[in-house]
Amino acid sequence: MCPPPNELYQFSVVSALMDGVASDGLPLSSLLEEGDHGLGTFRNMTGELIVVDGEAYQMRHDGTVVPAPGQPDSEGYHKTSVTPFAMVTKFAPSVTTTAPIQAKDGVEPVLARLVPDARNTHIAFRLDGAFRSITVRTAAGQCFPGEGLRDVASRQNELVIGPLRGTVVGFRSPQFLQGVAVAGVHMHFIDDDRQAGGHVLALETDGEVTVQVAELWRTVMDLPRGDKQFNEATLALNAEGIAAIEG
C-alpha cells in the first residue's frame, strides 16, 4: 500500500524509549512501507536509524554505517532490524530553497520563516550540502532490557566528522507533543557516501545548504500491540529528560 504524501507515520512514542521499551518493535520492512524520509532507533537502542530517499541505514556506535535491514553478520546486527520507535513520512516538500545555516541553532528560525502557518503541527525537513563539521552521537544500545534512554544516552559516543557533503533528515514537532515525539527540532545526519552519521548534536555548514520542508497535518500513530514490556511500562511524561537528551 502506498501512503499519501506528507502524513507522519510514527511507531510508538518517545516516552516509551525513555522508559526503556526497546526489546521489540516494528520490522524495518514494514516501516519503509510508511515513508521514505525519517528517523528512529533500533532494537535495544543499538545505533541510530535514518531513512533517506527510501533507504534505511543503521548508524552504529563504532562509527560505521550499514544498510538496514542488512545481511546477518557476525555481530548479529540483523537481529536489530526492528524499530521500537520511528517517525517517517513520504516526503513531498512544498518549499525548496537555499539558506545560510551556520549552526544547529540556525535551523529552526529558517524553518519558521519558510512555513509560518505550521507552528503547531509537525514538519519534515531536509538539508543537503557541504558541512564543515557535524557533531553526531550514536547510541550504544541498552546494557540490559528495559534500560531507559537517559542512561543509554549517558554512554553515547560523540564524534566530530567533516568536512563532508551529506544530508540532514529531520522533523520539527510542536511543544504540546513532547513525549509523543521530540518537541522542537530532531535531526539525523548521513554523509553522501553513506559511511558516517548519527543524531545531530551540532553542525557547521560551509555557506548555503539546500533546505526542503513539508508540513505534516495528519499523523498515523501505531502503538506496540502485544508488547508486554510496553504494556507494563509506566510511561510518565518526562519532558525535561527528553529535552536534555534529544534536543
Residue with cell string 534500560: 147
Angle, CA 245 vertex, CA 83 and CA 99 arms, to 5°: 90
Residue with cell string 524509549: 17
Residue type, 159: L
Residue type, 237: L
> Which range, of 49-57, 104-112, 152-160, 217-225, touches its own copies by CB under 8 A?
217-225
* Grid coordinates given for 49: 536509524
**Interface positions, 194-213, toward its own copies (CB under 8 A):** none
Size, binding site for its own copies by CB under 8 A: 33
Binding its own copies (rule: CB under 8 A), the pick from 230, 242, 245, 246 is 230
**Interface positions, 114-143, toward its own copies (CB under 8 A):** 117-121
> Which range, of 79-87, 124-132, 143-151, 221-229, touches its own copies by CB under 8 A?
221-229
Q: How far is the CB of 226 from its own copies (least distance, A)?
A: 7
Q: Which is nearer to its own copies, 4 or 163 (CB)?
A: 4
**Residue 147 CA: distances (Å) to CA of 29, 226, 240:** 26, 20, 18
User: With binding defined as CB under 8 A, does residue 171 bind its own copies?
Assistant: no
User: With binding defined as CB under 8 A, does residue 2 bind its own copies?
Assistant: no
Binding its own copies (rule: CB under 8 A), the pick from 63, 106, 174, 241 is 174
Q: How far is the CB of 175 from its own copies (least distance, A)?
A: 7
User: With binding defined as CB under 8 A, does residue 15 bind its own copies?
Assistant: yes
> 146-160 burial string, b = 16+ CB within 10 Å, else e?
ebbbbebbeebeebe
Binding its own copies (rule: CB under 8 A), the pick from 51, 200, 233, 245 is 233
Binding its own copies (rule: CB under 8 A), the pick from 20, 179, 197, 198 is 179
> Which range, of 23-31, 41-49, 97-105, 174-182, touches its own copies by CB under 8 A?
174-182
- Residues 60 and 229: their CA atoms lie apart, in Å, by 24
CB 152 within 8 A of CB 139: yes
Q: How far is the CB of 231 from its own copies (least distance, A)?
A: 5
Q: How far is the CB of 39 from its own copies (least distance, A)?
A: 20
Contact positions toward its own copies, by CB under 8 A?
13, 15-16, 117-121, 174-180, 215, 217-223, 225-226, 230-233, 235-237, 239
